[in-house]
Structure 1
Amino acid sequence: MNAAIERRLAELSPYSTRGLEWVRLEGGDAFDYPIDYWVAVMGTDIDTHRADFLVRWEPERYCHFHRHVGRTTVAVLAGEHHVVEEHPHETVHKTRQPGHVADNPPGDLHMEYGGAEGSLLFFSMQSDDGTLFEFLDREGGLLRLVTVEDLATANI
């Protein structure tokens, strides 16, 4: 991560992220929404199918449309964070502030994006088989599975 990003993280959050290895994920022409976020793995346990990691969203930018396959505990550490949940008969937009903590069961299908200053969240996930996320296209078609092993090897 470059020095400018480190400074922005320091401004956004009182938590030190120095020493973490950040991987940037961006979208491309195949997506109709702006994708730009960073992931820093804090720890993984392949045997128990568990991963702990930070995600930093750029201002007004999304992560990939996805479904959480494992149980997820999430905490908003800094910035305003938006979650747009997709349900069979409705779409629900939720705005989360720093200090918000949630424990979500598997199957959570949604889009997420950072507010005007971006956002920083902590995630702790555990699944039955090591699969954490399904990255999906807008119609719900599978683009990619993301596993604990992917996070452990920085193959995000």
Structure 2
Amino acid sequence: MNPLLFDRAIAWQTLENIAHLQYAILDIDRQNRIIDVLFKFAAQAQIVLHRHKVLNHMLVIQGEHRLYEADGSLKEIRPVGRYTVSPASDEPHREGGGDEDAIVFFSIRGSDGVLYEILDDDLNGVATLSMQDFIDLHSRRMQ
């Protein structure tokens, strides 16, 4: 399948030390603590182990969004059009694309603190992504 036409029009960015992932922040609503972002997960690859620390609403708009257990085993496949509401969870997981890159719309909600905790393979916290981190990334992009 060919990538969607809008994919080429998106100014994709990368996060340092997070392979197989690109992002495009669409909007940040500071007052209501909501971040709308597109994530692109590379085909046949898994991103870093992490935990979602806040509510996430997700819509798969291209490819298959694959979720993996901490040990790397496949947990779930979300096809194009699947809308999911996922509460905060301490369960670590990885995400990735299927046979093609997956593009997923995320609406990250409800906190001005830590949104994601990045883990090493031994489940130790090594970094976080916060509301302020996303604000800073978005501000740099807009300059």
Is TM-score (shorter-chain normalized) higher than 0.5? yes
The aligned runs of 1:98-117 (5 Å cut-off) are 98-107=80-89, 108-117=91-100
Match for 1:121: what amino acid?
Answer: V
The equivalent of 1:24 in structure 2 is: 14
Q: 2:79 is matched with which residue?
A: 97
Question: Which residue pairs with 1:72 in the alignment?
Answer: 56
Q: 2:3 maps to what in 1?
A: 12
Residue 151 of structure 1 aligns to a residue whose secondary structure is helix
Tell me which residue corresponds to 1:40. 24
Q: Deviations over 1:52-88 (max 9, x none)?
A: 10001122122221100110101110111210145xx
Structure 2 length as normaliser, TM-score? 0.81
Q: Percent identity?
A: 24
Tell me the C-alpha RMSD between the 2 structures. Answer: 2.6
Question: In structure 2, do the counterparts of structure 1 residues 74 and 153 end up closer, same or farther at CA, with 3 Å as the change threshold?
Answer: same
What residue is the counterpart of 1:132 in the other structure? 115
Q: State the distance in 2 between where 1:70 and 1:104 align.
A: 8
Aligned to 1:149: 132
* Structure 2 unmatched ranges of 5 or more: 139-143
The TM-score normalised by the length of structure 1 is 0.75
Any unmatched runs of 5+ in structure 1?
1-7, 29-34
**Deviation >3 Å, runs of 4+:** 14-17, 25-28
Q: Distance in 1 between matches of 2:111 and 2:88?
A: 10
User: Using the alignment, how far apart are the partners of 2:16 and 2:128 within structure 1?
Assistant: 17
Deviation at 1:16, TM superposition (A): 5.6
Residue in structure 2 matched with residue 32 of structure 1 by the alignment: none
